[in-house]
Each structure stands twice: as structure tokens, then as C-alpha cells.
Amino acid sequence: MIFREADDRDLVLRAREGRVDAFNALVTRWEKRIYNYLLRLSPDPDEAFDLAQETFLKVYQNLGRLDDPARFGPWLYRIAHNEAMSLLRRRRLEGPAPENAPEQATGQAAVFGMASVEVSIAVRGALARLTEEQREAVVLKVCEGFKFEEIASILDTPASTIKSRVYTGLEALRGLLAPVGGAPGANLPVE
């Protein structure tokens, strides 16, 4: 079977049988998306890479616990979310970040279809001003393309709360990104 034609469900079932090539195909298929998602939640590219590695290690260790192999994507994002939140909790316990901590990576603006460096900086700054809950909901909806119900599953939060976070977050982004007298942020997609 050609793995490019296999869906996640088939790959999960084969990986559960001990087929390392099937698990490697899953990692190859999802690693960039998970890394980019974690990069939006963690300001350090090395840290996001480590979180992605931990995520795939946990996936490998717990693949037998996945109830519905067809829902691999949301399950994978739930694990990545948990890894990122664990890191944020550890950081809070350790105290404030040093003043010379690296800035958040610049991959966010490209996801919104914006090319210029100035816009990239503006979007990154605006996303950073959202609450953690709004930022993650907006990233999962707009950048990762998940449905509200899938985001609810990933974040273990009611879908109505997710919708509220996404709409409130997008409205805040519109306000933060709109110049005085204009509203170019109105292009941000809302479903």
C-alpha cells in the first residue's frame, strides 16, 4: 500500500500492529503542522521542537488508547495542547520570563496570508495581546482549520465557549490591527 494514499485511520491501525513505517508516515504527515501549532504557543523554536518531539513520543506510547482511529488529528492536537499547557504551568511556577527571552517566532503572519515584515510583526503582537484561551482558539480555527466541535474536543471545552473565544479573539484582532479610520482586519475569516 502506498502511504500517500492511506488515510490516518489505516495508518493508525497498521501502527498499532507494530508497523513502524506506518507510524513514521503519520509523523511525516503531521510533524510540520504540530510544530507550527506549538510554535504559535511557545515563543522559542527549540522549545516548540522539543514539545513536538514529546507529543509524538506520547502518541506512540498511547496509540492503543485512541478510541476512534479516524479521529487521529484532533487527538494528536489534544496531546500537543496538553504538552504546551504543561510547559506554561511549569513556567508560571518558575516565575517571570527573563527580559532577554526570545521573541515569538514569525510564522504566524504567513498563516493569515500576509507577507510583509511589518504586518507579520503587527499580527504577532496582536495575537500576543489576546488571552491564552482566545489565542489558542483562534489559532486552531483560523490557522489549523479545525471545526468548532473539534476544537472543543482538543481543548476539552464546550463548543459554545470555543465559538465565543474565536469570535471575541477575532474581534479583538480586528480592533488591534485596524488603523484609525479603517478596518482592514475585516478580512479575517469567521465561520
Task: Enumerate the domain spans of the chain.
Answer: 1-105, 106-191
The domain 106-191: what is its CATH number? 1.10.10.10
Q: What is the pLDDT of residue 109?
A: 38
Q: CA 41 to CA 155: how far, in whole Å?
A: 14
Q: What is the pLDDT of residue 95?
A: 64
Q: pLDDT tens-digit profile of 16-60?
A: 999 999 999 999 999 999 999 998 887 688 999 999 999 999 999
Model confidence at 171, pLDDT cuts 50, 70, 90, reads: very high
Q: What percent of the chain has pLDDT over 90?
A: 55
Asked if residues 155 and 136 have their Cβ atoms less than 8 Å apart, the reply is yes
Average pLDDT over residues 124-148: 89
Model confidence at 182, pLDDT cuts 50, 70, 90, reads: very low
Asked if residues 150 and 74 have their Cβ atoms less than 8 Å apart, the reply is yes
> Average model confidence (pLDDT) for the chain?
81
Tell me the three cell numbers of residue 134. Answer: 482566545
Q: Tell whether the model's pLDDT for residue 76 goes beyond 50.
A: yes
Q: What is the pLDDT of residue 40?
A: 85
* Burial status of residue 183 (CB atoms within 10 A of its CB: 0-12, 13-18, 19 or more): exposed
Tell me the three cell numbers of residue 163. Answer: 465559538
Q: Alpha-carbon torsion 116, 121, 127, 132, what sign?
A: positive
Model confidence at 143, pLDDT cuts 50, 70, 90, reads: confident
Among the four given CATH numbers 3.20.20.220, 1.10.1740.10, 2.170.190.11, 1.10.10.10, the one describing domain 1-105: 1.10.1740.10
Amino acid at 115: A
Locate cell 498499532: which residue? Answer: 16
Asked if residues 170 and 156 have their Cβ atoms less than 8 Å apart, the reply is no
Q: Tell whether the model's pLDDT for residue 3 goes beyond 80.
A: no
Q: What is the pLDDT of residue 134?
A: 93
Q: What percent of the chain has pLDDT over 70?
A: 76
Q: Tell whether the model's pLDDT for residue 113 goes beyond 70.
A: no
